[in-house]
Each structure stands twice: as C-alpha cells, then as structure tokens.
Structure 1
Amino acid sequence: MKGYSFFDIIGPIMIGPSSSHTAGAVKIALAARIISGIGFVKVNYYLAGSFAKTYLGHGTDRALIGGSLGFMPDDERIKEAFTHAQKYGLEYNFIPIEDPSLHANTVIIEMKYPDGTITKVTGCSLGGGSMKITDINGDKVNYTGHYATLVIRYPDAKFVISSITNILSNADVNIEHIQTSHSDHSMVTLVIELSEPIDSKFIREISELEPIDSVNFIPPLIIRR
C-alpha cells in the first residue's frame, strides 16, 4: 500500500479551495504549455469526471487558464486568470465530457496555433497537488512532474536513444526513468526524467541530432519528498 506524506494530505501552497482542482490543474496546464510550446491562441479544455461537474465552483477553470498562461500554483494572478487571458488575447472554451475510462479529475487540453497546428495533452489531478500527464498527441506517457524532464519527438530511427543518452552522460546527470511511445509507426515520443536540471547547451546538442523533431525541457513541478 502506498504511504502518504504530510504534503499529500494537506496539499501544497496554492491559490484556490482544493489542491486537486487548482494546484493539480495548474500543473497539468503548465506542463501542457511547456510540452506544446508557447504561441497558441486558443485552448479547449475537455473536462471529465469531477472536473466536469465542479470546475466553476472549485476554481478549476481559473487554474487551467493560469497554467496555460505560465502561472505557478501559488501565483496570485490566478485569481484574475480570465482578465489576463483577455489581456494576452487567449481564447478558451470549457467543454464537459463523459468518459468512464478516464480518471475522475481529467482534462484534455487542446491548443491551437495561428498556423493551424493543433496539439493535445491529457492529464489528471491525483490530489495533494500531484498530477500526471497521460497522453501527448496520442502517445501514452506517464509524466508526474517530480523530475526535470525532457520530452523529445523524432521520426522512428535506430540508435537515437543511444545518441541522446551519450549526451546526457556528458552532461553528468542521471536518468531516473525513460519511456517511449508510438502513436503511429512514424513518430516516437521519448520522455526522459533526470536527476537534476540540465544545462541548455546539452538540450541544444540533442535538438541538433539529425532525426530530432523537437525537444522540450520541463523543470520539476512537484517537490520530491
């Protein structure tokens, strides 16, 4: 049985009445923003389970917009998230959905860019400010925000992972977890959780490898205890 820490029970420092519906929601949207990249002009939030039922009263709507704007859970600006979204020209919609297969506090975040590109990131809030990203553009993943993380996309090819791990070895960081996912036979999503943040020059080296399509670095969003 899992042991629960003091912080799992009372939750983190945050803005809002519930860590499941605010802190977790902020982190999901913030991770989605980093994974997909800034510059999106419209966001659709598809809300499942209790998110769909209570997003208005529990402040989940403000929390999600705040995360999409780059705010952390303790940022006072979350209280005025709607005003800030208007200021930055961000359009948004909240769309309740019914899907019994999804976790009770799940949101699918669909981000639209000026060039027509659409990205989708799915995450669920686990309570106490914890969250998990479960899907990136159709690729199943298991990202929790506990570690500094690289999310790398590339066309399926041999020896790519070994080339990346060689660069990480030169960066003198340990790999805590590594996972790959294929939504189809052409593209791979590689998620690498690291023992500590990595210098930007090594991220640049990875991005310059021949088959790499994109590299996104996500700092730890949850304090490890």
Structure 2
Amino acid sequence: MKYKSIFDIIGPVMIGPSSSHTAGAARIGRMARSLFNREPKWAEISFYGSFAKTYKGHGTDVAIAGGLLDFDTDDERIIQSLDIAEEKGIKIAFIEEDAITDHPNTARVRIGDEIGELELVGISIGGGKVEITELNGFELRLSGHHPAILVVHDDRYGAIAAVANVLTKHQINIGHMDVSRKEVGQMALMTIEVDQNIDDAVLEELTALPNITKVTKIVE
C-alpha cells in the first residue's frame, strides 16, 4: 500500500489510541452502514488476529459500533457508541475468532433488520486506511478513500461495457475497477472507484441497463 503523504502514515484526526484499531475500525463500520444504506437493527461483529486480542483495550469495539451509527473518526460520540446503540435498540454482539486471516486487523461485520442483511469483511491496514475484501460472499477490493459504485449484475456479455459507456457519456473517470463472480454465468459484482461523486441520475441510468440488479454508491 503506497502512502501519498506523511498524514497517511500518522493517520486521521480521531477518537482513540490507535489509527489501526480505532480509526480503521470506525471506517469499516461506517462503510458497512453506507452500503446497507440505513441504520441496522442488529450487528454481529467477529474480530480476528490483533483485533480479537486487543479490541477492548484499544476501543475497537466502540469504534466499529460508532461507524455503524454513521459517526466519523473524530466524532466524540464514538466513546459512548455502545450506550447510544443500546438506547436506539440496536443489538450488537462481538465474537473473538481464533481463525488465522491474511491480515491481523480483520473484522467480519454482519448487520441487518427486518428488510435484509449485509455481510462484509474489512481490514485496517494502518494510518486509518481500510480495505473491504469481501461483500456478501463476493471478493473485492474497496478502499473507501474514493467515491465508488457497486453494481450487482448478471454475469452476461456486454454488462461491463454498458456500465462503462454510461460513465464515459457523463465524463466520469474510472480510477480502479474489479469484477467478482461466484459462479460463471450467475451473479457478479462490479466495484468501480471513480474520481468524483456520482449524481443519483447516473445511478438511475445504470440501474435501468439490461442485466443490472442493483447499484449502490459510496461517497468520499
């Protein structure tokens, strides 16, 4: 992972003692909240590696809960996030996992309500930076440091080109793009990081394309 400035190494303005264990955790939680697009009614958070060993002392639990409440890394309410979640009726459970993962600061977040559920795996890579490596069973790479579009679609010829054509028409530059699928010819996921926030009108145009199931955006 390349850092653009000294501030990427020091980390962001934040609540808590560790950019990896607090700021990164808060961002993982907030990205889950953003992708879920609403406040969840429950959350089940599994910690692995260093997260599992030190999450209570380093405030990883309150940080990731604060992210689920849509608190930014410097929001002082993070300290009371578990109490705030309880007041809102949000049930949060933490699980210490023994399994060995590729990265020591790994969290699996499952959230849901009466409408649906979402599951993702996030890693905190240092300096407050994170990557989402799995979403609802799809492998991906999403940094959260750039605006992004997630497109769930049928694995069909022309689907990727159709999405790219819409972005080209609106002069939206693609910085990074991944495509993941569970099985050939079944459901697939495009993860597209772009250089600017996307208007809802563009999302509607993408959603209307053939073979597109769902389009979600993440703002910077």
TM over 0.5: yes
| Mapped contact 2:50–2:105 kept (Cα < 8 A) | yes
| Mapped contact 1:34–1:216 kept (Cα < 8 A) | no
TM-score, scaled relative to structure 1 = 0.91
Matches within 5 A, 1:1-225: 5-115=5-115, 117-185=116-184, 186-220=186-220
Offset at residue 3 of structure 1 (A): 5.9
Offset at residue 122 of structure 1 (A): 0.2
Which deviates more, 42-51 or 83-92? 83-92
Offset at residue 118 of structure 1 (A): 3.0
| Mapped contact 2:39–2:68 kept (Cα < 8 A) | no
Q: Which amino acid aligns with 1:195?
A: D
| Mapped contact 1:48–1:102 kept (Cα < 8 A) | no
Unpaired stretches in structure 2, ≥5 consecutive residues: none
SS of residue matched to 2:26 = helix
TM-score, scaled relative to structure 2 = 0.93
RMSD of aligned C-alpha atoms? 1.7
Measured in 2, the distance between the counterparts of 1:173 and 1:3 equals: 24
Measured against aligned partners, the alpha-carbon deviations of 1:168-224 in whole angstroms (never above 9, x if no partner) come to 11221101111100123421011001011121210111122232222111122xxxx
Give the structure 2 partner of residue 223 of structure 1.
none
Q: Matched residue pairs, number?
A: 219
Q: Which amino acid aligns with 1:89?
A: G
| Mapped contact 1:30–1:69 kept (Cα < 8 A) | yes
| Mapped contact 1:154–1:189 kept (Cα < 8 A) | yes
Q: Specify whether residues 201 and 72 from structure 1 end up closer, same or farther in structure 2 by C-alpha distance, changes over 3 A only.
A: same
Offset at residue 4 of structure 1 (A): 6.9
SS of residue matched to 2:56 = coil
Q: Which amino acid aligns with 2:198?
A: I
SS of residue matched to 2:189 = strand
Measured in 2, the distance between the counterparts of 1:19 and 1:67 equals: 14
Unpaired stretches in structure 1, ≥5 consecutive residues: 221-225
Measured in 2, the distance between the counterparts of 1:60 and 1:124 equals: 12
Measured in 2, the distance between the counterparts of 1:101 and 1:41 equals: 28
Measured in 2, the distance between the counterparts of 1:210 and 1:39 equals: 30
Q: Specify whether residues 174 and 76 from structure 1 end up closer, same or farther in structure 2 by C-alpha distance, changes over 3 A only.
A: same
Measured in 2, the distance between the counterparts of 1:66 and 1:204 equals: 30
Report % sequence identity: 37
